[in-house]
Amino acid sequence: MSSSIHKTVLLEETMQNLNLRPNMTLLDATINGGGHSAEAVERLSGKISVVGLDQDSLALERAKNRINPFQPQKLNLIEANFRNMGKVAGELSLKTADAIIFDLGLSSDQLEQSGRGFSFEREEPLLMTFSDHPTDPAKTADAIVNRASEEELVGIFKEYGEEPRARRYASAIVVARARKRIETAKELAEIILNAAGGKGRRHPATKVFQALRMAANQELESLEEALPQAFSLLSPNGRLLVISFHSGEDRIVKNFMRGKAAGGEALLINKKPITPGREEVLANPRSRSAKLRVLQKAN
């Protein structure tokens, strides 16, 4: 697969809301392939400094290759979880950023090329970690699938996957792993498929895989930790943009932003989330659940 597979979601809407201006500093908390940042650098003819975070070193390499041709004033790419944003900013002596972007969830590149078990069509190890060299074996999809109790699995599938058949799928996993350890993504997908009684319009393992990925990477917890750090780093009138794909993520973002606006610390740029137009959804079905929220820090 080509590395150009990933389509940047809500690109034009993001650019319109970044409040782009020469010599600004952009902090891209989930830089991945660098789509949003590269577009910002190109539009400002390189007159912008970019700090990009990602847990995946391969994604950082893609971002570097994509952004560098547009010659940003300064480019710092750091392998880190955005929940450690404040620490990274301190190490870089970054006092403020004029705009901060979060583009949450899984990229097409990671789904197709990571080799870490994000796709239920591949014989890949059950890692599902955003980091390409996870250090804690207890924080992987393998550990959850093979060690969590049935009740814990039900809770994970309901909270992170909003899966109505959570009980049925958790039970099937517990029965299957009693016979043999579940080792690959394809193996897990087959267990779910058999428990569902066949494919519907969408593969029955879709929400289970989403739930396992979100649990393994502690995505909701990381977001809750990162948003206050991002807000404190914003310069006066700086903007925080968050693109989410999951109702739990969007709820966290909405409540955080409304709280800041209610306290007079910031202004909500959009009362309702910005969603992709019909053309984008047709061109990139993955974008259908995307929601962009924008907050501007008070002067």
User: Strand pairing partners for 241?
Assistant: 101, 294
- pLDDT at residue 121, as a whole number: 83
Q: Assess contact for 88 and 107: CB atoms under 8 A.
A: no
CB neighbour list of residue 52: distance below 8 Å, 6 or more residues apart: 27, 28, 31, 34, 37, 60, 63, 67, 75, 76, 77, 78
CA end-to-end distance (rounded Å), the chain: 46
- pLDDT at residue 51, as a whole number: 98
- Give the CA radius of gyration of the chain: 20
- pLDDT at residue 72, as a whole number: 97
User: Strand pairing partners for 201?
Assistant: none
Name the residue among 107, 97, 119 with its Cα closest to residue 186: 119
Q: What domains can you pick out in the chain, each with its CATH number?
A: 3-108+219-297 (3.40.50.150), 140-216 (1.10.150.170)
Q: Is 114 exposed, middle or buried (0-12, 13-18, 19+ CB in 10 A)?
A: buried
pLDDT in tens, 184-234: 999 999 999 999 998 878 899 999 999 999 999 999 999 999 999 999 999
pLDDT in tens, 63-96: 999 999 999 999 999 999 999 999 999 999 999 9
pLDDT in tens, 232-241: 999 999 999 9
pTM of the model: 0.92
Q: What is the mean pLDDT of residues 259-276?
A: 97
